[in-house]
């Protein structure tokens, strides 16, 4: 063992050779690294050739690419989506979703005319079925409505697969009260116009390439008097101190948790960047109103809508609602 | 102190310290593709998370990788890079920056080589263990690009170390290799991986502490730095010649030892059952 001691110190002796500089190697290494970076295809090359671009987190991508990139992000997060949601929001996402569903109060107790029909609810980007489950439970247990049904729609088949798995052990699947539709929210041609009582989208709309097209489709499929409800993250909190903590948690802890729990830092980096890119509450309420919905709240002097949404948890998330007018405005 | 004065004092700091003055919300530009500059807090949290995560689930190779990267700065990876710079071949490796992937290492050609060569031993080891030279995780959390390459090279040549020592991919073999690598490269992740001895069964642990750990420590210390071997040029070298040059002895074959133990146990069990049946038949 004593003979190993000089060997061991040999490893440590190298620490002191800090003055070693081989200028020839340095120059070469630098040159080869420049060549290396030049050979890397720049990601925005494709998009900068006059095509329309949009944001994908902080990156800029061609519009056609965004949907497939979003699809692949959610394919990789699908299997531990719930665990990650719990870790990222410290379980608070459950409270937000419960409040969202309770405030919408799905299900009808009695019908004014004729036999009870039940409502048709379309849950967009609802792959894993969180909202759909809560809607059906609320309608069945609180409003004693066993006819209300939910169409769960998502662009991503893996997320829908998770939803189907979850519903397979529930009574709703056998009763035919839940159906699954793989579709892009900007093109819901599989859903007939004016057929849906309640259109919900929870934590999905920030991933859409064209939010205005999705809002227009929502307007089309809803019945007159139908409700559009959206639960989404907000780009910043109103309180700047809390916003400081919140942003550091988002950009520091969340990708880290993604790396350790799910082995995927990049998808979670995309998620927090996409929140940053989402329009503010006033802007989004304006977009909903422009799609034709009646939005609660009033227009202030600057034309912006005030008070047309509900902030949750100091503004981390917000619920936006709109009602399709009973008669088209002339 | 107002902000402009603080800013000026910040700029007056020496370059290595100044470079670290960033926060989660204003990270500097990446130094190489895939680079993520982490703050000290994030590095610490990732190191701890990776350590426990990889202990719980040893199949999470990405966590072992991130553990290696976050614990090797500031000192250990720099020491390893200096060890490479102090050696002729090491300097050439840093200049050329060769990468080992399943494309650059064609197993077909390696299998055609004579059986005593390094390349043949490598291909034979891959076939015996049922693994491929698939692309290792890219280094992301080391700031200096050359140090990042050193870590990447260490990761990619790990399988070659397995091949010339003959140790298998099971936990015991991996632990022995990690102990060897600690004595050879001084990377903290290799020492931290020793925590996985808790996952060994009693007889495996005995074997490890009796045979493989002493082998690993003495060989790792007395051998030359394995990181300085230009494996792409040594594929046709005789394995024994390379081992003598490096100063590595082959440890007792682990798979054979395990098989011998298994057969022994099976023979004992069969004998015991035969005795019981005999006892039951004769009513003893």
Which residue range forms the structural domain that includes residue A272? 4-108+117-323
Q: Is residue A47 part of a domain?
A: yes
Q: What is the pLDDT of residue A38?
A: 42
Q: What is the pLDDT of residue B171?
A: 86
User: Which among B41, B60, B94 is the nearest to A263, CB-wise?
Assistant: B60
Q: Is residue A328 part of a domain?
A: no
Higher pLDDT, A232 or B1: A232
Q: What is the pLDDT of residue B3?
A: 75
Q: What is the pLDDT of residue B284?
A: 59
User: Which among B62, B75, B95 is the nearest to A29, CB-wise?
Assistant: B95
Q: What is the pLDDT of residue A28?
A: 39
Q: What is the pLDDT of residue B253?
A: 87
When mean pLDDT is compared across A75-89, A230-244, A268-282, B189-203, the lowest value belongs to A75-89
Higher pLDDT, A76 or A160: A160
ipTM of this predicted structure: 0.81
Q: What is the pLDDT of residue A53?
A: 82
Nearest-neighbour CA in chain B from A52: distance (Å)? 25
Tell me: pLDDT of B110 over 50.
Answer: yes
What is the rounded average pLDDT of the residues A156-168? 90
Q: Mean pLDDT in chain A?
A: 83
Tell me: pLDDT of A39 over 50.
Answer: no
- Tally DSSP H helices, then E strands, for chain B: 16, 0
Residues B38, B20: Cα–Cα separation, whole Å = 9
Tell me: pLDDT of B169 over 90.
Answer: no
What is the rounded average pLDDT of the residues A219-242? 94
Mutate to test the interface with A, among B34, B40, B43, B82 (most CBs of A within 10 A): B82
Q: How sure is the predictor about B7, in pLDDT bands with cuts at 50, 70 and 90? A: confident
Q: Looking at the complex, does the CB of residue A17 fall below 8 Å from at least one CB of chain B?
A: yes
Taking CB atoms and an 8 Å limit, are B82 and A20 in contact across chains? yes
Q: What is the pLDDT of residue A46?
A: 43
What is the rounded average pLDDT of the residues B120-144? 86
User: Which among A15, A248, A260 is the nearest to B49, CB-wise?
Assistant: A260
Higher pLDDT, A138 or B136: A138
DSSP, collapsed to helix, strand or coil, labels residue A228 as strand
Q: Is residue A329 part of a domain?
A: no
Nearest-neighbour CA in chain A from B82: distance (Å)? 7
Distance between start and end Cα atoms, chain A: 95
User: Which among A251, A259, A263 is the nearest to B24, CB-wise?
Assistant: A251
- Give contacts of A 246-275 with B, CB under 8 A: 247-248, 251-253, 256-257, 259-261, 263, 265
When mean pLDDT is compared across A56-65, A295-304, A307-316, the lowest value belongs to A295-304
User: Which among B46, B78, B186 is the nearest to A11, CB-wise?
Assistant: B186
Residues B100, B233: Cα–Cα separation, whole Å = 12
DSSP run (H or E) holding B156: helix B145-156
Tell me: pLDDT of B149 over 60.
Answer: yes
Q: How sure is the predictor about A149, in pLDDT bands with cuts at 50, 70 and 90? A: very high
Condensed to tens digits (0 to 9), the pLDDT of residues B178-217 reads 999 999 999 999 999 999 898 889 988 999 999 999 999 9
Nearest-neighbour CA in chain A from B282: distance (Å)? 56
Residues B93, B139: Cα–Cα separation, whole Å = 17
DSSP, collapsed to helix, strand or coil, labels residue A183 as coil
Tell me: pLDDT of A74 over 80.
Answer: no
In DSSP terms, A121 is beta-bridged to A150, A198
When mean pLDDT is compared across A232-241, B59-68, B94-103, the lowest value belongs to B94-103
Nearest-neighbour CA in chain B from A242: distance (Å)? 14
The tokens 């490269």 sit on which residue?
Answer: B185
Condensed to tens digits (0 to 9), the pLDDT of residues A179-200 reads 999 999 999 999 999 999 999 9
Q: What is the pLDDT of residue A16?
A: 52
Q: What is the pLDDT of residue A114?
A: 73
Residues A111, A102: Cα–Cα separation, whole Å = 20
Nearest-neighbour CA in chain A from B101: distance (Å)? 17
Residues A96, A93: Cα–Cα separation, whole Å = 5
Q: Do B66 and A259 form a contact (C-beta atoms < 8 A)?
A: yes
Mutate to test the interface with A, among B78, B91, B95 (most CBs of A within 10 A): B95
Taking CB atoms and an 8 Å limit, are A33 and B32 in contact across chains? yes
When mean pLDDT is compared across A265-274, A291-300, B6-15, B88-97, the lowest value belongs to B6-15
Q: What is the pLDDT of residue B74?
A: 83
Mutate to test the interface with A, among B222, B227, B248 (most CBs of A within 10 A): B222
CA closest to A251 among chain B residues: B24
Cβ contacts of A25 on chain B, cutoff 8 Å: 85, 91, 94-95
Q: What is the pLDDT of residue B152?
A: 94
Cβ contacts of A256 on chain B, cutoff 8 Å: 42, 45-46, 49
The 10 Å CB-count burial string (b at 16+, else e) for B72-100 is: bbeebbbbbbbbbbebebbbebbeeeeeb
Contacts of A228 (CB under 8 A, 6+ apart): A199, A215, A218, A219, A222, A288, A293, A321, A322, A323, A324
Q: What is the pLDDT of residue A325?
A: 92
Cβ contacts of B91 on chain A, cutoff 8 Å: 22, 25
Q: What is the CATH number of the domain that holds A251?
A: 3.40.50.150
Nearest-neighbour CA in chain A from B181: distance (Å)? 12
Q: Mean pLDDT in chain B?
A: 88
Tell me: pLDDT of A172 over 80.
Answer: yes
Tell me: pLDDT of A35 over 50.
Answer: no
The tokens 């494996």 sit on which residue?
Answer: B231
User: Which among B63, B91, B221 is the nearest to A260, CB-wise?
Assistant: B63
Q: What is the pLDDT of residue A253?
A: 93
CA closest to B78 among chain A residues: A15
Q: What is the pLDDT of residue B218?
A: 94
Q: Looking at the complex, does the CB of residue B137 fall below 8 Å from at least one CB of chain A?
A: no
Q: What is the pLDDT of residue B59?
A: 84
- Number of domains into which chain A is organized: 1
Q: Looking at the complex, does the CB of residue A28 fall below 8 Å from at least one CB of chain B?
A: yes
Condensed to tens digits (0 to 9), the pLDDT of residues B32-70 reads 999 999 999 999 999 999 999 998 888 888 999 999 999
- pTM for this model (two decimals): 0.79
Q: Is residue A62 part of a domain?
A: yes
């Amino acid at each position: 063992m004593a003979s190993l001691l000089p060997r061991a110190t040999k490893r440590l002796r190298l620490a002191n050779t800090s003055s070693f500089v081989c200028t020839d190697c340095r120059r070469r290494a630098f040159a080869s690294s420049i060549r290396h970076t030049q050979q890397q295809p720049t990601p925005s090359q494709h998009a900068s050739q006059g095509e329309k671009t949009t944001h994908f987190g902080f990156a800029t991508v061609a519009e056609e690419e965004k949907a497939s990139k979003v699809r692949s992000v959610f394919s990789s997060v699908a299997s531990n989506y719930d665990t990650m949601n719990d870790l990222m929001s410290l379980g608070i996402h459950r409270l937000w979703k419960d409040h969202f569903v309770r405030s919408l109060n799905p299900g009808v107790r009695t019908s004014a005319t004729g036999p009870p029909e039940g409502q048709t609810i379309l849950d967009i980007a609802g792959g894993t079925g969180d909202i759909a489950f809560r809607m059906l439970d609320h309608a069945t247990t609180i409003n004693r409505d066993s006819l209300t049904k939910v169409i769960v729609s998502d662009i991503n088949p893996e997320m829908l697969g998770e939803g189907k798995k979850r519903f397979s052990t529930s009574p709703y699947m056998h009763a035919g009260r839940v159906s699954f539709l793989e579709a892009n929210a900007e093109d819901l041609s599989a859903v007939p116009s004016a057929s849906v009582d309640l259109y919900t989208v929870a934590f999905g709309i920030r991933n859409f390439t064209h939010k205005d097209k999705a809002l227009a489709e929502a307007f089309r499929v809803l019945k007159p008097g139908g409700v559009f409800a959206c639960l989404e993250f907000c780009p910043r909190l109103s309180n700047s101190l809390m916003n400081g903590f919140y942003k550091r948690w988002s950009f520091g802890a969340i990708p880290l948790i993604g790396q350790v729990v799910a082995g995927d830092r990049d998808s979670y980096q995309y998620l927090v960047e996409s929140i940053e890119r989402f329009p503010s509450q006033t802007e989004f309420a304006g977009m909903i109103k422009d799609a034709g919905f009646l939005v609660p709240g009033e227009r202030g002097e600057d034309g912006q809508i005030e008070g047309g949404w509900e902030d949750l948890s100091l503004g981390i998330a917000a619920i936006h609602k709109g009602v399709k007018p009973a008669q088209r405005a002339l | 102190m107002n902000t402009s004065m603080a800013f000026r004092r910040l700029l007056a700091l020496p370059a290595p310290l100044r470079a670290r003055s960033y926060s989660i919300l204003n990270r500097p530009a990446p130094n190489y593709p895939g680079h993520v500059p982490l703050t000290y807090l994030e590095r610490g949290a990732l190191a701890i998370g990776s350590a426990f995560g990889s202990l719980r689930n040893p199949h999470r190779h990405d966590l072992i990788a991130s553990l290696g990267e976050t614990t090797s700065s500031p000192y250990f990876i720099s020491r390893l890079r200096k060890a490479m710079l102090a050696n002729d071949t090491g300097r050439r490796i840093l200049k050329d920056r060769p990468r080992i992937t399943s494309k650059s290492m064609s197993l077909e050609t390696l299998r055609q080589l004579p059986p005593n060569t390094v390349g043949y031993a490598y291909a034979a080891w891959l076939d015996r263990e049922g693994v491929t030279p698939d692309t290792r995780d890219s280094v992301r959390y080391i700031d200096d690009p050359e140090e990042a390459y050193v870590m990447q090279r260490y990761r990619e040549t790990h399988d070659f170390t397995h091949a010339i020592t003959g140790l298998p991919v099971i936990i015991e073999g991996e632990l022995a290799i990690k102990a060897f690598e600690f004595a050879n490269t001084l990377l903290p992740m290799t020492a931290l991986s020793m925590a996985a001895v808790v996952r060994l069964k009693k007889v495996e642990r005995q074997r490890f502490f009796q045979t493989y750990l002493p082998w690993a420590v003495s060989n790792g210390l007395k051998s030359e730095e394995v990181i300085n071997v230009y494996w792409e040029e040594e594929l046709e070298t005789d394995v024994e010649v390379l081992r003598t040059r490096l100063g590595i002895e082959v440890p007792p074959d682990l798979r054979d030892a395990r098989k011998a133990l298994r057969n022994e146990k099976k023979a004992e069990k069969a004998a015991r059952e035969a005795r019981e049946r005999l006892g039951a038949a004769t009513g003893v």
